Chain A
């Protein structure tokens, strides 16, 4: 429990949600992430529903490690970065696997951030970190509330910095989130989380 953010080493997973205006922030975060970052990261980013290819490749270019779009029932690997595939919701299952769904759009989105966050909160409970970035609608607000209710740690990108701040503001209005951070601070936080988890697992 040292450092600026006093991060605990109890966490087992990170979820990140983003929409319009979050691509640069995501790129920056992935580029600065330590290669040996120990936790799985599940990213749900709004994307074109009918363009299956290209996005994961674009995100991988600058990332310190590869980003993968999981298959249904794929076992979760520590330190892996997962991206919700086009036109599927991505959810977490008990027993350490990922499931996909073609259910109705939520908040006009498939993949929907609420879906990933809600199921991750159920599985990881107080061992989950949720990060919500810039975006144009209110997807993620419900999911952040669920993470908070289950005892997880909630972080919203500073609306002042967000290109489009509807999404951060919606989450802030619904939930008393733990931290409001700029992208550079989110990176600092993740570096501290990296250290804390490695210490705890030693």
Chain B
């Protein structure tokens, strides 16, 4: 970032009011520091120069709104992010759920371009549980959901993904793990084996305004709520809680915490290092 543009709270308020009135999305309680920087980024990208110009374009050009959503949402992700998390999932959490239910329903809340979904599919497939699974992946951003559906990963990211995969599931003595066996390279993309995606549903869903639509054994909502302020985190956590079976699991990002949330007492910590919680109260 390089401009000296200052965006004040009053500017953000006018912007979120317009979006709420015209498009029904509510960004009022997004975390201020990151939201301000996302807005600034859009203004620079489209050379709008001022917040007023952005507001004016949003007001008069509905077709721009989806593009705007894509730009302000954060879509930085990788396969098997935090490898130790995936090991705990594979060795403890998933076996526990299968033991009690014999089936497993999973929600990736804020799935972005889908790397986490593919990581989950691979994990379940290698455990032999993929046919017992029902996976729902949602995001607020239509464009990124469409991208996730293609299940293709830029070739340049595969080296990091392979490194994470090896760190997650590799043993020092065992045969080398090869992530590429699940992919076919086409041009600059690695395309995932679609036959493994039969139990996966992708759909557009806004965590802030969207209704509770199902119940799950396991919800992954990692590094999503960091973009919300405490008020909104409380509201979204209440929805996630309602979307979980009793004794279901919730995974958040490694540097997120529920301790400042007002319904924290309805969960217990199962793994503090990997930030995995269990719902213990309705």
Question: In the complex the two chains form, what is the Cα distance from A71 to B31 in whole Å?
Answer: 14
Q: Among B38, B164, B223, B233, point to the contact of A102 (Cβ < 8 A).
A: B223
Q: Quick one: given A72-B257, A73-B260, are A94 and B32 in contact (CB under 8 Å)?
A: yes
Q: Is the pair A88, B33 in contact by a Cβ cutoff of 8 Å?
A: no
Q: Is the pair A106, B32 in contact by a Cβ cutoff of 8 Å?
A: no
Q: Is the pair B226, A99 in contact by a Cβ cutoff of 8 Å?
A: yes
What class of interface size applies to chain A in its complex with B?
20 to 34
Q: Quick one: given A52-B254, A104-B76, are A92 and B33 in contact (CB under 8 Å)?
A: yes
A100: CB under 8 A from chain B?
Answer: yes
CB distance from B269 to the nearest CB of A (A): 13
Chain A residues within an 8 Å CB radius of B259: 71
B29: CB under 8 A from chain A?
Answer: no
Q: Quick one: given A91-B33, A100-B226, A101-B74, are A142 and B1 in contact (CB under 8 Å)?
A: yes
Q: Is the pair A101, B233 in contact by a Cβ cutoff of 8 Å?
A: no
Q: Is the pair B255, A85 in contact by a Cβ cutoff of 8 Å?
A: yes
A169: CB under 8 A from chain B?
Answer: no
Chain B residues within an 8 Å CB radius of A91: 33-34
Q: Is the pair B1, A99 in contact by a Cβ cutoff of 8 Å?
A: no
Report the nearest A residue to B1, measured CB to CB. A142
Question: In the complex the two chains form, what is the Cα distance from A57 to B74 in whole Å?
Answer: 30
Chain A residues within an 8 Å CB radius of B225: 72
Contact with A along B1-12 (1 / 0, CB 8 A): 110100001000
Q: Among B1, B38, B257, point to the contact of A106 (Cβ < 8 A).
A: B1
Chain A residues within an 8 Å CB radius of B253: 72, 100, 102
B37: CB under 8 A from chain A?
Answer: yes
B256: CB under 8 A from chain A?
Answer: yes
Q: Is the pair A118, B1 in contact by a Cβ cutoff of 8 Å?
A: yes
Q: Is the pair B33, A71 in contact by a Cβ cutoff of 8 Å?
A: no
B142: CB under 8 A from chain A?
Answer: no
B residues 209-232 in Cβ contact with A at 8 Å? 223, 225-227, 229-230
List the 7 closest A-B pairs by CB distance, nearest first. A91-B33, A71-B257, A119-B33, A72-B226, A101-B34, A102-B223, A85-B255
Besides A100-B256, A101-B33, 17 other CB < 8 A contacts? A52-B254, A69-B255, A70-B255, A72-B225, A72-B256, A73-B233, A88-B255, A93-B33, A93-B229, A99-B33, A101-B31, A102-B76, A103-B38, A104-B76, A114-B1, A118-B1, A142-B1
- Residues of B whose CB lies within 8 Å of any CB of A are 1-2, 4, 9, 31-34, 36-38, 74, 76, 82, 163-164, 223, 225-227, 229-230, 233, 253-257, 259-260
- Residues of A whose CB lies within 8 Å of any CB of B are 50, 52, 69-75, 85, 88, 91-94, 97, 99-104, 106, 114-115, 118-119, 122-123, 142, 145, 149
A and B contact pairs by CB, cutoff 8 A, 14 listed: A71-B255, A71-B259, A73-B230, A73-B260, A74-B257, A93-B229, A100-B253, A100-B256, A101-B31, A103-B37, A106-B1, A118-B37, A123-B33, A145-B4
